[in-house]
Structure 1
Amino acid sequence: MSITVRSDLPKLVGALNEIKAGMGDKVVAVGVGRAAKSAYTTAKRELSRVGGWRQGYIAENSGLTRLGALMARIYGRKRETNLVEFGARQTRKGVSAAPWRTRRIFPGTFLVTGKNGNRIVVSRAGKSRLPLDSKYGPSLNRELRKDEVVNPTLARFNERAGLEVSRLAAYRASTIFSKYGL
């Protein structure tokens, strides 16, 4: 009587070598990228809540940049935002606008149309008709550095990074094992 033992050990060793060779770096890089996108979405939401911007304005004037495989940077435009972006309306006493989600009247200000066709909030610089001074509210770059925005953004990144890396590692391992018929 003879007993025959058949093993898929060579296939398993080949699959494990393939996993070891290329999976780690790529999976971590893709996971970090996906977590960074999720954190950017959270940052836009928090900026809108804290600063009073529309999310479309934030999307146009901020961004996410990858700084290598394991690093990303969320940035915002450094210039202050004209009060017209905060729902400015002309009243008898001045312009009413809501920067930082608080509506208030800015006395002595008024709405004008600039040379480029955009409406802006201005006030007179002196007694004469000209020059005019633009009136500004918060800056995306400054608000992006506040703890009210940074803490939820980092929490979202840390939460998503581990989930994305583990999910991608499991998926990549399953595709490699199915390739070897395991």
Structure 2
Amino acid sequence: MAEATVTLAGGNAIRQMADKLRRIGEREAREAASRAVNRGGDMAKTAMTRELVRATGINYQKVKTVMTTRRSLPATLSYTVEGRGNETNVGLFKARQVKRGASAAPWNKRKIFRKSFIVPAFGGKVYVRRGAERFPLKGLFGPNIAREMRKGEPLNAWDRTAQNVTERRLLHELGRLFK
């Protein structure tokens, strides 16, 4: 299981508002910070999901179903996204049977998997035989969302968006309290 977390533990935005925070009280400040973390986390999750779709080739709805969220509370000030799930069969990636095997596009790159075949009775999954006999069969697998969200562009999108949006939103929320 993979995790990505937005935590508000310090930073420029809080230092800029330190005196004002003392005046409004800890409870109101934590509620405002929690709202800011949730907004930043929601937007970072969306950015990460879009990048995962681009990187893996899995459709947006399927990516969203394997991601769970723990939203920020005033006590925790932490927003966490967890990815769960196993490898995905290459049959999910616009697979089609061709003369030399099955053709599919995991990681958004079309490839022919030699000597493989699609079994419609098993949901269109792609298999290859393990030996000369008819059985056993071995499934062919593509990206694992939980693993993919910890590397490359999806992780960069999370970091960029979470940091920028959370700090700006915190300033906005505190500005509302100071009026």
Residue of structure 1 in register with 2:82 after alignment: 75
Once structures 1 and 2 are overlaid, which stretch shifts more, 56-65 or 96-105?
56-65
| 1:134 maps to 2:139 | yes
Instruction: Give the TM-score normalised by the residue count of structure 2.
Output: 0.79
* Seq. identity, %: 30
1:36-75 Cα deviation digits (max 9, x unpaired): 1111001101111111111111011122223753222222
Aligned residue among 94, 110, 114 for 1:87:
94
Map of 1:31-50 to 2, 5 A cutoff?
31-50=36-55
Is the contact made by 2:38 and 2:72 (CA closer than 8 Å) also made in structure 1?
no
Aligned mates of 1:137, 1:40 — CA distance in 2: 22
Q: The residue matched to 1:24 in structure 2 has which SS?
A: helix
How much has 1:99 moved relative to structure 2?
0.9
Deviation at 1:19, TM superposition (A): 3.1
Aligned counterpart, 1:107? 114
Which whole-Å deviations, capped at 9, do the CAs of 1:80-135 have from their partners, x for residues lacking one? Answer: 11101111111111111111111010011111135xx5221111111111111111
Say if 2:36 and 2:169, in contact at 8 Å, map to a contact too.
Answer: yes
Runs of 4+ in 1 over 4 A off after TM superposition: none
Give matches, 1:1-182, under 5 Å. 19-20=24-25, 22-66=27-71, 69-114=76-121, 118-174=123-179
Asked whether the 8 Å contact 1:23–1:169 carries over to 2, the reply is no
Determine if contact 1:89/1:95 at 8 Å carries over to the other structure: yes
Task: Indicate the SS of the match to 2:77.
Answer: coil
TM-score normalised to structure 1 length: 0.78
Displacement of 1:18 after TM fit?
Answer: 8.4
Larger relative contact order (CA 8 Å, sep ≥ 6): 2
Runs (5+) with no aligned partner, structure 2: 1-20
1:154 and 1:37 map into 2 onto residues whose CA distance is 12
